[in-house]
Every structure is written in structure tokens, then in C-alpha cells.
Amino acid sequence: MRTILMLFTGGTIASVKTENGLEPILNAEQILSYLPDIGDDVELRTLQVCNLDSTNMDYRHWLKLVDVIEENYHRYDGFVICHGTDTMAYTAAALSYLIQNSAKPIVLTGSQQPIQMEITDAKKNLLDSIMYAADMESHGVCLIFDGKVIAGTRAKKTQSFSYHAFSSINFPELAAMQHGKIVRYIPCEVQEGPVRFCHKVNPRAYAMKLTPGIGSDILQEIFRKYDCIVVESFGVGGIPDSMIDDLCLLMKQYPSGSKVIVMTTQVTYEGSNLATYEVGRRIKGRFPYLEAFDMNFEAAFTKIMWIMGQEGLSFPEIEAMFYSKVNFDLLLF
């Protein structure tokens, strides 16, 4: 018999209709009461971590999940986290860095419709996740939704309302859940050595999305308040004339490694390559930076938070960690 610990955090799957709209109210036992009998091969245990709309989930909840999983790691064969869809990709990416080399599956799932509704995707997503978490060939952090098994660092919510809400960005799906079976496309990534848990992140991270005509007047305040600046640039990447000089001056004002810029792209698929155009190439040599390449935004954002949480690192050390592949997060570098 395989034992699975199900962690509940709220989200649509736990929501009921109220006069103010959908609110996560149902607890773990209430949610499981809607599932059919799963048989004698799997034993489920539950733990209510929180009950929030995932809009309100942040790094503190990621660290709480890490604490709970570490505390229970040797008691269970796998873990299923029920989570709201809006920020589930961030949590999946964050847990990929905070819990590395796990020989046990850590599955995130949720739904686009509450489980108590007559027509809902919640039951299928939960059953698929339980089945995958109970399989001995499953390892590491992944997200399961609408039959897709996606590496935790590659998931992005790409549909607002549809049941096929999540896509695997710049990387194939790991597996598919079809008619009660797991069809594996890519073997789970398992490294040698024991599971590693990390309990620190740097929350002073900011996403700076470039827009046509953007000025540099906001840069000084951003640098004052944040240590990790992830720049969502246009196309394959670059910095516009309107802010390049001030950005270079600001980077020189701070000690090396205390402020880190990650260059990524607003384009969902195919990634960045700053070497393509002059607006990208001119950055090289003017200040140190990191490039996300084929990483999706959620992975790049949470990875630099994890790295910068390890205090006292030099920029070369930060760079080495950022370009170290974790849970299929980076291919092109």
C-alpha cells in the first residue's frame, strides 16, 4: 500500500459561491468527500496548511509547505498539494528549487471549477494526481492538470477559464494521464544523493516589464527596495535607449552581487537571446547580468529568489547556481 499526504491550501477547488463571489471555504475532509472510492492500494492522509485564494499565496506559504513536507517526508510515499490555479506555477517552480533531489513525488494540482459543482474538473485532477503520486516511478516536483504532467519549473497558466489551463513552456510534458494509466514521455529527473530542503528565499524581488517609451525615473526606487530585478524585455531581449545609461550607473553604485538583474522576455515561447540584436549585445561588458534563455518567467523569478536567499554569495557564485539545471528548468545555456 502506498501512503499519500494531501496538503490543502484553498483555491478554486475548495471554493463555494458567496454573495461576494467564489471563496475558498471547504476543508480537506469536505473536499475528499466528493471523491469516489480510490481502492485499497492507496492510503490518503490530509493536512490543512491554509485556506486562501492563491492570489494571496506568497513566499511565506512556499516555506511553510517546505517545512511540512520535510517534517513528513519519511512517513509518506508521495505528496499532493491542492492549490489555487492563479499562482500555482510560481509555487511549483519555487518548490522545485526549495526541495531538490526528491526521490518522492510532490504534485501540485487544483481546478478551474469548485469540486462541489456538478460539472467540474476537480475530481479528475485530484484522482490523476493521487495516481501519479502513488506510482513508484514518480519523483520530484510536478504540476498535474487536465491530464498533463508538467515539470514544476516549466508550468505556466495560459488559459483563464478553460480546463486545459496549464502549458509546459519550452519543454515537453513529462507524462500524460490517460484512462487511469500513466503514459510517460520523459523519465523523472533524479540526482544522486539525499533530498535537499532549503528554508530561505530573498523576497525582495521585482518584475520590471518593459513598455514602449518607458523611462528610467523609476529605476532608483526599484533598486532601493529590491535586490533581484527580473526584466521582462521585448522579443529576444534588450534594454531601450531611454534607460540603458541610468541602469548602468545604478549597477555600479552597489557592491557586486548585492543587486542582480535577470534578463528575460515577455514572449511566452522560445526564450531570449540577447546576442541577437545590438540592443541586447550592448549590455554585455557594461554590467553583470543573468539571462533566462529558455526558462519561463515563473522559474527565473523564483530561482533568483532562492539563490539570493543564500546570503553572502559573490556574483560568480550566483551565476553558477543560476545556470545549474534544476528539474528541467534550463536547456539552451
List active site positions. Answer: 12
Q: Give the phi and the psi of residue 163 in degrees, each rounded to 5.
A: -65, -30
For residues 174 and 156, give the distance between their C-alpha atoms in angstroms, rounded to a whole number: 14
Tell me if 88 sits within 8 A of 108, measured CB to CB. yes
Tell me if 186 sits within 8 A of 174, measured CB to CB. yes
**Residues in CB range of 72: below 8 A, 6 or more apart:** 5, 47, 79
- C-alpha pair distances (Å), 170 with each of 156, 167, 174: 11, 9, 12
Tell me how many degrees the CA angle 314-195-124 measures, rounded to the nearest 5.
115
Residue type, 97: Y
C-alpha cell at 46: 490530509
Tell me if 296 sits within 8 A of 311, measured CB to CB. no
- C-alpha pair distances (Å), 171 with each of 49, 96, 146, 150, 188: 31, 16, 17, 9, 13
For residues 272 and 269, give the distance between their C-alpha atoms in angstroms, rounded to a whole number: 9
Label the pairing between strands 99-100 and 196-197: antiparallel
Collapse the DSSP code of 310 into the 3-class scheme (helix H, G, I; strand E, B; otherwise coil) and give the result: coil
C-alpha cell at 153: 519549473
